[in-house]
Structure 1
Amino acid sequence: MSAAVQKRKVSDRTIAIACLAFFFGMVGMAFAAVPLYAMFCQVTGYGGTTQRVDQMSDTILDKKITVRFDANTSGGLPWSFEPVQREVTMNIGETKLIKYDARNIVERPTAGRASFNVTPQAAGAYFNKVECFCFTDTVLQPGEDLEMPVVFFVDPDIVNAPELKGVNTITLSYTFFPIPMPAPVAANAGAKKNDNSGQL
């Protein structure tokens, strides 16, 4: 084999390895991008993403705001998904509990995960959720119906936001996307047992 041919094979192999490394790097970044973006949005309220808090507001204003609730499914998820109530009018700072209802309408188990946003987008920084089902993997059996609570309040500081002057209505929107069904626990336990069977 000539030196030129050998050099070309080495070059082709280097390019192939670089392409594979680039491909797997991009796949890894794609998986990491979703949780990192979600974390960024939750901290900043960017893109209408709401805030997640551990405690309720200790200030309630004598000023009303209406919160509307929207529900969607995407990617062919075979669920019926809707808010139990379409809207609520409440005092700013008051804590409210509302519910969404999801039902699997096919004869097989299916799984989904919800994302959410708030409009107008600037209101996301002032919409605080104490409890929600967002970014949680949910499995529904055939025909199963599930009520999912959301506990929230609108931060009283919203009245000081110049970009939200005159805003009296906020819309909270959830979209459920399909995800792969999780592997059965028994199957995983059996696989682990088999993996360890040859070890002393």
Structure 2
Amino acid sequence: MNSPSIPASSDLARRNRRVLVMAALVALGSLGLGFAAVPLYRIFCQTTGFGGTTQRADETVVVKPVAGRTMSVRFDSNVAPGMPWEFYPEHPTDTVEIGARDMAIFIAKNVSDKPVTGTAVFNVTPTQAGAYFTKIQCFCFTEQTLQPGEQMRMPVIYYVDPKILDDPDNKDTQQITLSYTFNPVEPK
């Protein structure tokens, strides 16, 4: 009966070092993926419209309206708890021609006695419609600062991409809700 051979001490040390290096590389790779997860997820959502993330286009984009095809758009507005703003859409709903640019106005008012800076997060429901809701200009692209008692009209220029008509997941979509929540920006 042959006994299993025991590796020489130098072979064992070399194998242990290799395992240690591989484990360290896996740990560093996992750490790197942890830091990259948020930006990668944001890019994924912006590209696919996942989770109701809207699309973004510049002012030079050319889209042709689809005659006779409309979509109801509902506007929802919220402020985070403790944020001293009033925030609401000028008109809570609009009916738009699919493919045509349209503009919605939101009103924000600082009801405190000090300047307040806020940033808006947004989403679209139904979530599968997010890939077809495209913003050209939006107050949500930048931070907004309102002085004490100041009221501001904030536009959103958008369109509903005609490709929504060819998407079987959106065949029953008759209304899209664009929802914003303003959150305070902590002073730097």
1:39 aligns to 2:39 (yes or no):
no
Question: What are structure 1's unaligned runs of at least 5 residues?
Answer: 1-24, 183-200
Q: How big is the shift at 1:75?
A: 3.8
| Aligned residue pairs, count | 156
> In 2, Cα distance between the equivalents of 1:138 and 1:98?
17
- Structure 2: gaps (5+ residues): 1-30
1:136 aligns with 2:142: yes
User: Residue 6 of structure 2 corresponds to which residue in structure 1?
Assistant: none
Q: 1:107-157: CA deviations, max 9, x gaps? A: 011111001000000000000111111141111110011111000110111
SS at match of 2:129: helix
Alignment of 1:6-21 (within 5 A): none
Question: With structure 2 as the length reference, what TM-score do the two structures score?
Answer: 0.76
8 A Cα contact 1:105 1:143, kept in partner: yes
Structure 2 counterpart of 1:114: 120
Give the equivalent residue in structure 2 for 1:58: 64
Cα RMSD between the aligned structures?
Answer: 2.1
Match of 2:17 in 1: none
Structure 1 residue 95 corresponds to structure 2 residue 101:
yes
Pair 1:39–1:136, CA change in 2 (3 A): farther
2:186 equivalent to 1:180: yes
Which deviations, in whole Å up to 9, do the C-alpha atoms of 1:68-109 show, x marking residues without a partner?
000001141110000011010121111101110100001011
CA distance in structure 2 between the aligned counterparts of 1:90 and 1:114, rounded to whole angstroms: 23
Quote how far apart the aligned CAs of 1:167 are. Answer: 1.1
Find runs of 4+ consecutive structure 1 residues off by over 2 angstroms. 32-40, 58-61
8 Å contact from structure 1 (residues 110, 181) kept in 2: no
Letter in 2 for 1:108: K
For residue 163 of structure 2, give the secondary structure of its aligned residue in structure 1: helix
| Distance (whole Å) between structure 1 residues aligned to residue 153 and residue 47 of structure 2 | 27
Question: Aligned partners of 2:146 and 2:43: how far apart in 1?
Answer: 26
The corresponding residue for 2:132 is: 126
1:144-163 matches, within 5 Å, as: 144-163=150-169
> Any idea what SS the aligned residue of 1:131 has?
strand
Q: Secondary structure at the match of 1:90?
A: strand
Indicate the SS of the match to 2:46.
helix
The AA in structure 2 aligned to 1:154 is V
Report the structure number with the largest CA radius of gyration: 2
TM-score for the superposition, normalised by structure 1: 0.72
1:113–1:179 CA contact under 8 A, matched in 2: yes
- Per the alignment, do residues 43 and 102 of structure 1 end up closer, same or farther by CA in structure 2, a change over 3 Å counting? same
Whole-Å Cα distance in 2 between the matches of residues 121 and 50 of structure 1? 9
Cα contact 2:55–2:135 (8 A) shared by 1: yes
